Amino acid sequence: MCETRNFMNTSDFNFELPDGLIAQHPVAVRDESRLMVLDRSARRIGHRRFCELQQFLRPGDLLVINNTRVLPARVIGRKPGTGGKVELFFLEECAPGEWDILLRSRRRPRPGDRIEIGSDGAHAVMLADGTDGRASIRLGGGLTAMQIMEQFGDTPLPPYIQRQETGDQMSAREDAERYQTVFAKHPGAVAAPTAGLHFTPELLARIEDHGIRRAEITLHVGIGTFRPVASEKVEDHVMESERYEISGRTAELIAETKRHGGRIVAVGSTSVRTLENAAAESGEVRAGAGRTNLFIFPPFTFRVVDAIITNFHLPRSTLMMMMSAFAGREFLLRAYAEAVRDNYRFFSYGDAMLIQ
């Protein structure tokens, strides 16, 4: 269901959110988070627990999940001589041994400068400085980027999750485990596909026993997911591109589900964007790999997705705009107002919403 009016102002997607509702830690058990259920046709809002999700899915539906794995992408290096701290946030490999990164330092290194990582010779050399905090580096010292991240990296958390730099090992272990879906396979993301964080192996088994099949796509979530919409007009915002892959088996399952009248239930905005991007030209999801910067906002014709599982998002964000295109802006904002009144937990470690 789509709205006929095109809401062109970013401010149309704003709402008041108390800071105390921004979840700083996950619930004790993944699927014990709350679940708000939006019925688009009846404009009805229900309140359940995520562990009850299978009650709202139908035999013959297809659950599409994003199997990307979050990299331990935040690495602390040091400047030779002074020992000054340099934070390297690995984004994407642009050539063998060369990486696009975000770089933070009190005094920014210049091209040609060396940054030490650990104490056994691993290092990075600045190749070029960029805009918006970006830089490019070449790695040296015998370790690959994955080895460096596994040995020295930390889980990158969204800026609205506050962690004091006190060496709290409990929080670090919690984040390493819980800011990762139970079905994560392919390393490459710098942020989690957070709608998937609510699933447990037991819940997935119950869903399968209920007659719902599961398919996987891969979209490596990039740093653009944290970028606010700075433009006044919605259409002036430009999404950063992200890498995706759709297997032949997933494309077959989607086509088969559609033929038999089942629904495509996308887990998270990343699955939505991947599927709708793949179907943008032909109307059918085809296997393949590529990049997408698809920006979904009202009005938008959804060609593939019939239901969405998502989290509660930032005001004025591209994710709010996508969900407004699917649920209807006014209905979504009414649901968000109800979520605020009922003290739902927001953002990555927060509660979930099913829109159907």
Q: What percent of the chain has pLDDT over 90?
A: 86
Tokens of 179: 């800011």
Name the architecture of domain 10-70+178-355.
Answer: 3-Layer(aba) Sandwich (3.40)
Percent of the chain with pLDDT over 70: 96
The CATH number for 74-154, chosen from 1.10.4080.10, 3.50.50.60, 3.40.50.720, 2.40.10.240, is 2.40.10.240
pLDDT at 325: 97
Share the mean pLDDT of the chain: 93
Neighbours of 96 (CB within 10 A): 8
Q: What is the pTM of this model?
A: 0.93
Note the helical H segments in the chain: 145-152, 169-178, 201-209, 248-259, 269-278, 318-327, 329-341
Residue 165's pLDDT is: 54
Domain ranges of the chain: 10-70+178-355, 74-154
